[in-house]
Amino acid sequence: MVGPEVVVEHGEPQGAGGADRNGAADPLRNGAHGEVAGVTETTDVIEEATALDRAQRAGEAAAAAAVAAGEPPPSAAADVDLTAAAFFDVDNTMMVGASIFHFARGLAARKFFTTSDLAGFAWQQLKFRIGGREDKNGIAGHRDTALSFVAGRPVDEVVSLGEEIYDELMADRIWAGTRALAQMHLDAGQRVWLVTATPVELALIIARRLGLTGALGTVAESVDGHYTGRLVGEILHGPAKAHAVRALAATEGLDLRRCTAYSDSVNDVPMLSAVGTAVAVNPDSELRDVAKDRGWQIRDFRSGRKVARIGVPSVLGAGALAGAVAAGVAYRRR
């Protein structure tokens, strides 16, 4: 694992679950669902409403997949907390770098595509990480190319490759500090899920290897054990993650005010705002600013940062471009 130290900047958490802490209304919680009342149906409005609907479908699909793949909920025992849970982003939060890029490297080593393709994919990942907010046309193009790559492939093949590649390229890239935070929640009797744009099959492998409860990830449609080349909804990114967390909470009986979420990216502010305690881990500059403004805790496990140390338990408090095989291995072998 990476980084034995736990270092942190600390601000008092604030806000309650289920709503934006700055009071902004969630458009999907007020009956929008693809309609904008009292607004002329311009192309931009329709596109925005459709995107929101896809994000909600992606979140609901991710929650359904997590429930189907996860372990049965623990029995009500004295040391089990059934209404509190923790949600962790993966890329640069739980794992150094992008999990889907590590997966793509493994596929390239197996001649699924060329090294020049991998370099192109790496460049797009870099633009995604630096730019933060991708344009919707870019996402759609990467998604469509990626889905053409997996169309017709067996799901079992992807899972088997994911197991191998995790051992080869991911196991040693887990942030020890973030892993310790997850274990803290488990030790407190809480369930812990990963929430990531990475394909749910790969996300579940990572969760299982780390001893976590399960994972919410991008869901690709499959029929008779083979990918169709279509997504269920959209990539699990941005607002879709918040929808997934809310849908899972409703199914599992969680009180989001008692839950905690962790991420490195400003794109995950919707998810962080949906729970009682939000923690920025290895944050990008924009998320760091948001966290300071809202009083969220900041934990940084990267070396060389001048941050204060505090004990791990304090975080219990109240409580993309990815989608690769699902929608992110963006280049087919020529």
Instruction: Give CA angle at 246 (158, 137), nearest 5°.
Output: 60
Q: What is the 3-state secondary structure (H, E, C) of 173-216?
A: HEEHHHHHHHHHHHHCCCEEEEEEEEEHHHHHHHHHHCCCCEEE
SS3 content of the chain, % helix, strand, coil (to 5): 50, 15, 40
Instruction: Give the active site residues.
Output: 89, 91
DSSP per residue, 205-253 = HHHHHTT-SEEEEE-EEEETTEEEEEESSS-S-THHHHHHHHHHHHHHT
144 residue type, one letter: D
56 residue type, one letter: Q
87 residue type, one letter: F
In Å, how far are 45, 102, 114, 141, 269 from 334, measured between CA atoms? 38, 20, 8, 18, 38
As a whole number of angstroms, the distance between CA 321 and CA 328 comes to: 7
Number of H helices, E strands in the chain: 11, 9
As a whole number of angstroms, the distance between CA 281 and CA 263 comes to: 5
